[in-house]
Amino acid sequence: MRSGWLASLLALSLVFLVACDGKKSAAPPVQRGPGTPAYGDALVVGSIGEPSTLIPLLASDSASHEVAGQVYSGLVRYDKNLNLEGELAGSWDVSRDGLTITFHLRRGVKWHDGQEFTSRDVMYTYRVTIDPKTPTAYADAFKQVQRAEAPDPYTFRVTYAKPFAPALESWGMAILPAHLLEGKDITKSELARHPVGTGSYVFKEWIAGQKIVLESNREYYEGRPYIDRYIYRIIPDSSTMYMELKSGALDMMGLSPVQYQRQTDTPEFRARFNKYRYPASAFTYLGYNLRHPLFSDRRVRQALTSAINKDEIVHGVMLGMGQVAHGPYKPGTWACDPHIRDFDYNPERAKQLLAEAGWKETNSDGVLVKDGKPFQFTILTNQGNAERLKTAQIIQRRLKKVGIDVKIRVIEWASFLSQFIDKGNFEAVLLGWTISPDPDMFDIWHSSKTGPKELNFIGYKNPAVDRLLEEGRGTFDTEKRKRCYWRFQEILAEDQHYTFLYVPDALPVVSARLRGIMPAPAGIMYNFIKWYVPKEEQLY
């Protein structure tokens, strides 16, 4: 009750703020040319969370990885089209049998303290990652390695017991400086607060709870970045962050759909900022507990998907800032089969499928009944995500129209995991996954991953899918993998143990004085070292 009251007050105040915006939109939009690239200036970025540690191996939050990503580099990275390319490794070869990967390291790369980067650093990073004493969440891919060797300072070779395609991606892990860490306890290292890497930016200072300052690495092997300083300000409240942006104290942040569509659509804002929009690497889904008798019949699940209007969700919840999802892969990537369509919105079809599954009669409330039991279930979702709650409400209304009674429960994240997900104590969940560029989804769908605390918590078991997943991760041949994953998507579209709902859009906004930004499938940050501010527009 109380929070409802607060929310309406906040809504009221937002209306007021928006109303204020309207008066100011007289200024004509300023046309800006590309200008000439120049060194200097700073980019001030806002972040909701503060990084926990700047040793990426130990970090599990996105803020840490975002900052550390500028300071450290991996052997490989994703290019603008989400294909792997060499970073610290100039190139690599995979042996014919797919068991051995040899990385040829770049020569002459220097750590920020002047020491030379060699295969010793890679070897150290590998060893510390698999060391059982290291509290890291990322050891699993490296544990598949059977033998690691560094025959000379510029070669690093790993051998696997069987071909393992996600292995390559795992070498994108930030390489740590052996000369600063070897023989020391990594959990007590200074590097957590004062990192030394090989990346395009050098760590300068971290004022706890306020900001982190990075300076451009003039010796960077891909050339000195134009922007001299990268300043990361910690602003825990999103309304505050938005006001900081408008006042000019921030140059970049991620917008919400409402901000993107309604609050920033003024000539004044458009003259000062550039908005970008591209699909985020994530999707939201409704997952059914397959151990529950209600959802064991595939026709019922197909009916549920047919009864849900995904378009309506994208427009109502995301204000159109997203797209309907039909499968687990990001649209536009090679693993995503663009022809896959699951069940379009068709309530008549839903009713028919339900009738086939035995849900024919309705009780006095208009709810379908089978063997004397009404068709009733609860959608669980986590607290603090308004988009998911709204989505659940829209689904509730649509399912009511075909005679299904849905309840919604919102639960705090920790209890959500420990009391419901881990115990399999749920009927349906509304959640999201982040999509990694590598299409391997073994952990989420393979039948061996249905144990407690494992990620196939809905209990999906399909031998055909198991085979495809094993085959897909067992080869480096992209064409072969594509065939596996496209077939896999067809099966998912039939099985509908998840109703894939939508892929949201990432909505970054950047000050118009920054040039050189080229949106690509990987987003906008991939070419950050090429961003620049023309001399006459530099602020800092």
Partner 1 sequence: MTQYLIKRLIMMIPLLLGITLISFAVVHLSPGEPVEMQVAMNPRVSAEARERLRKFYGLDQPLHVQYLKWVGRLAKLDFGRSFAPDGRPVVDKIKERLPVTLSINVIALLLEFGLAIPIGVLPAVRRDTPLDQGMTVFVFLGFSIPTFWLALLLMYLFGVKLGWLPISGLHSFGSGGFGFLRQLCDLAWHLILPLSVATFGSLAAVSRYMRSSMLEVISQDYITTARAKGLSERTVILKHALRNALLPVVTLLGFSVPGLIGGSVIMETIFSIPGMGQLAYNGSMARDYPLVMGILVIGAGLTLIGNLFSDILYAFADPRIRLGKG
Residues that bind partner 1 (CB under 8 A): 6, 9-10, 13, 16-17, 20, 44, 52-53, 55, 58-61, 64, 132-133, 135-141, 187-188, 192-193, 205, 207-211, 231, 233-237, 239-240, 243-244, 246-247, 249, 412-415, 417-419, 431, 433, 436, 441, 443-444, 451, 453-455, 540
Long-range contacts of the stretch 228-232 (C-beta < 8 A, 24+):
228/39, 228/40, 228/41, 228/42, 229/41, 229/42, 229/43, 229/204, 229/540, 230/42, 230/43, 230/45, 230/70, 230/201, 231/42, 231/43, 231/44, 231/45, 232/45, 232/47, 232/66, 232/67
Q: Residue 380: count other Cβ atoms within 10 Å of its Cβ.
A: 24
**Between 96 and 143, whose beta carbon lies closer to partner 1?**
143
**Between 403 and 504, whose beta carbon lies closer to partner 1?**
504
Shortest Å distance, C-beta 186 to partner 1? 9
**Between 59 and 529, whose beta carbon lies closer to partner 1?**
59
**Between 214 and 441, whose beta carbon lies closer to partner 1?**
441
DSSP state of 420: I
C-alpha to C-alpha distance for 191 and 57, rounded to whole angstroms: 11
DSSP string covering 1-44, please?
-HHHHHHHHHHHHHHHHHHHHHHTTTSPPPP-------SEEEEE
Shortest Å distance, C-beta 61 to partner 1? 8
**Between 135 and 151, whose beta carbon lies closer to partner 1?**
135
Name the 3-class secondary structure at 124.
Answer: helix
DSSP string covering 252-286, please?
EEEPPHHIIIIIS-SHHHHHHEEE--EE-SEEEEE
**Between 152 and 185, whose beta carbon lies closer to partner 1?**
185
Q: Which amino acid is at 389?
A: L
**Between 55 and 510, whose beta carbon lies closer to partner 1?**
55
Name the packing angle between helices 298-307 and 386-401 (round to 10°): 110
Shortest Å distance, C-beta 152 to partner 1? 31
Q: Which amino acid is at 326?
A: H
**Between 22 and 33, whose beta carbon lies closer to partner 1?**
22
Name the packing angle between helices 298-307 and 347-356 (round to 10°): 160
Contact status, residue 395 vs residue 401, Cβ threshold 8 Å = no
C-alpha to C-alpha distance for 177 and 182, rounded to whole angstroms: 8
**Residue 350 φ/ψ, nearest 5 degrees:** -60, -45
C-alpha to C-alpha distance for 496 and 462, rounded to whole angstroms: 12
C-alpha to C-alpha distance for 468 and 471, rounded to whole angstroms: 5
**Residue 110 φ/ψ, nearest 5 degrees:** -110, 140
Q: How many residues are listed for the chain in this entry? A: 540
Shortest Å distance, C-beta 431 to partner 1? 8
Q: 379, 375, 390: which is closest to 420 by C-alpha?
A: 379
Shortest Å distance, C-beta 54 to partner 1? 8
Shortest Å distance, C-beta 55 to partner 1? 8
Contact status, residue 461 vs residue 444, Cβ threshold 8 Å = no
**Between 28 and 132, whose beta carbon lies closer to partner 1?**
132
Contact status, residue 505 vs residue 6, Cβ threshold 8 Å = no
Shortest Å distance, C-beta 175 to partner 1? 18
Shortest Å distance, C-beta 50 to partner 1? 8
Shortest Å distance, C-beta 316 to partner 1? 26
**Between 300 and 465, whose beta carbon lies closer to partner 1?**
465
Name the packing angle between helices 478-495 and 463-473 (round to 10°): 160
Shortest Å distance, C-beta 385 to partner 1? 13
Contact status, residue 242 vs residue 259, Cβ threshold 8 Å = yes
Shortest Å distance, C-beta 405 to partner 1? 28
**Between 123 and 130, whose beta carbon lies closer to partner 1?**
130
**Between 236 and 338, whose beta carbon lies closer to partner 1?**
236
Shortest Å distance, C-beta 404 to partner 1? 27
Shortest Å distance, C-beta 324 to partner 1? 23
**Between 195 and 257, whose beta carbon lies closer to partner 1?**
195
C-alpha to C-alpha distance for 325 and 305, rounded to whole angstroms: 12
Q: Residue 60: count other Cβ atoms within 10 Å of its Cβ.
A: 12
Cα dihedral sign for 354, 360, 366, 371? negative
Shortest Å distance, C-beta 436 to partner 1? 7
**Between 418 and 478, whose beta carbon lies closer to partner 1?**
418
